[in-house]
């Protein structure tokens, strides 16, 4: 299977796992040992200033903290778009990637956009491949505007509609199927 680093995983309408129902995951790593990414479309009910004050100056005032996934939810994950992609600790695509540890002033000044996530999503060896074989995920190429969407709560439906009529119908599936 091709490596999925830098791809978007869009959950299929039939994926009922509450950790990933109606989610869009940006893949940061994928190899024989497993996969890691962050959920892009689950803002939490708190701001970065409240949850992770040392990173607050990297995001807009009042920016929400996002649920990155069920793994290590107490650890912040910083995803950025920067003018200096060569300085990214984990480049993903174009000028988008992860920064880790202390962020020096010269790097901070080159950050164009940033999101802070609580935790990340993770899969063990062959786990994601099995889910893909079961058609639990739809793959798509990311755009920076997807990653930093101004309407993250609508990102899942937006991406499905962008993929065309076959997927646009899926975008109307309610989060709670009993509401259908």
What is the distance between the alpha carbons of residues 22 and 40, in angstroms, rounded to a whole number? 11
Strand boundaries in 40-180, DSSP class E: 43-47, 64-67, 71-82, 90-93, 96-99, 111-124, 137-140
Q: What are the CA-CA distances from residue 81 to residues 17, 50, 135, 139, 152 (Å)?
A: 30, 22, 30, 21, 17
pLDDT digits (tens, 9 = 90+) for 36-47: 999 999 999 999
pLDDT digits (tens, 9 = 90+) for 47-78: 999 999 999 999 999 999 999 999 999 999 99
Sorted by where each starts, the structural domains of the chain and their CATH numbers stand as 8-151 (3.40.1740.10)
pLDDT digits (tens, 9 = 90+) for 166-178: 899 888 887 876 5
Residue with tokens 């009922």: 16
Q: What are the CA-CA distances from residue 22 to residues 51, 90, 122 (Å)?
A: 24, 26, 17
Q: What is the mean pLDDT of residues 23-38?
A: 97
């Amino acid at each position: 299977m091709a490596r999925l680093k830098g791809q978007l995983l869009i959950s299929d309408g039939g994926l009922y796992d509450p950790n990933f129902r109606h989610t869009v995951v940006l893949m940061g790593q994928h190899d024989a040992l497993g996969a890691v990414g962050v959920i892009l479309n689950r803002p939490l009910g708190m701001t970065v200033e409240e949850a992770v004050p040392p990173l607050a100056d990297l995001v807009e005032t009042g920016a929400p903290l996002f649920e990155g996934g069920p793994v290590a939810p107490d650890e912040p994950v910083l995803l950025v778009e920067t003018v200096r992609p060569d300085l990214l600790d984990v480049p993903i695509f174009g000028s988008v990637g992860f920064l880790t540890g202390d962020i020096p002033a010269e790097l901070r000044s080159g950050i164009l956009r940033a999101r802070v996530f609580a935790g990340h999503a993770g899969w063990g060896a062959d786990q994601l491949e099995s889910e893909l074989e079961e058609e639990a995920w739809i793959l798509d190429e990311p755009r920076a505007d997807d990653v930093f969407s101004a309407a993250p709560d609508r990102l899942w439906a937006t991406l499905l509609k962008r993929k065309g009529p076959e997927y646009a119908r899926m975008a109307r599936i309610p989060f709670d199927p009993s509401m259908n």
